[in-house]
Structure 1
Amino acid sequence: MKSATGFTGSGSRDWFIQRVSAVVLAVYTVVVLGWILCNGGFNFEQWYGFMMTTPMKILSLLSVLSLVAHAWIGMWQVFTDYVTTRQMGPSANGLRIVLTSAVIIAVLAYAIWAIQIFWAN
């Protein structure tokens, strides 16, 4: 049986993952902006010290993984809604495969890069 979505196989689970990932990204944004506002005029060493603490490494990793899931679900939905044979003809299937593959490669590359940045030390 063909799955309903490209991430979890369930539209309601994908919806839930997108909402949770949005909350994680919002929390991360508030934490980082809060630190910037409380530490105006900071230098590289202070920023590095803040970002390389274990709690920030964990929150950053959760944020990267949330961004990957959020982007993948969103782009999959866009491709399945707008890159269709009804709208584009028979070439839509090939185009959808190319676009989907490009998104998968991009989000995996970004995730690996971010993990390397935060956890290579």
Structure 2
Amino acid sequence: MKSATGLTGSGSRDWFIQRVSAVVLAVYTVVILGWILLHGGFNYEQWSGFMMTLPMKILSLLSILSLAAHAWIGMWQVFTDYVTTRQMGPSASGLRLVLTSAVIIAVFVFVIWGIQIFWAN
């Protein structure tokens, strides 16, 4: 049987993950913007010192994973809603496979790259 959703197999779980990931991304944005506003005229050493603290590494990792989940669920929904045989004919399933594969590869590379940036030191 085909999965009804793209990530968890449940539309309500995907909805919940997307909402939680949006909250994590909003918190991350507020923290980053707050630090920038409080430390105007900062240099690389100050920025690096802030970003490489353990709390920011953890928050950054959570944000990277949240962005990946959020993007995957969103793109899966777009592809299943708009790349259909009803709208595009028989070539839609092949196009959807190519688009989905490209998103999976891009999200995977993004997550690995993000982890490497924050945790390779």
**Same fold, TM exceeding 0.5?**
yes
Q: Displaced runs of 4+ in structure 1, greater than 6 A?
A: none
Aligned to 1:14: 14
Match of 1:110 in 2: 110
Question: Does residue 96 of structure 2 align to residue 96 of structure 1?
Answer: yes
* Number of the residue aligned with 2:41: 41
- Distance, in Å, in 2 between the alignment partners of 1:112 and 1:68 is 11
Summarize deviations over 1:25-50 as a string: whole Å, max 9, x none.
00000000000000000000000000
- DSSP-derived class of the 1:42 partner: coil
**Gapped runs of 5+ residues in structure 2?**
none
> Once the 2 structures are TM-superposed, how far is the Cα of residue 3 of structure 1 from its aligned partner?
1.0
Shift of 1:54: 0.2
- Count residues with an aligned counterpart: 121
| TM value normalised by structure 2 | 0.99
Please give the per-residue CA displacement for 1:13-66, whole angstroms capped at 9, x wherever unaligned: 000000000000000000000000000000000000000000000000000000
Amino acid at match of 2:68: V
| RMSD, aligned α-carbons | 0.3
Give yes or no for the alignment of 1:24 onto 2:24: yes
* Residue ranges of structure 1 left out of the alignment (5+ in a row): none
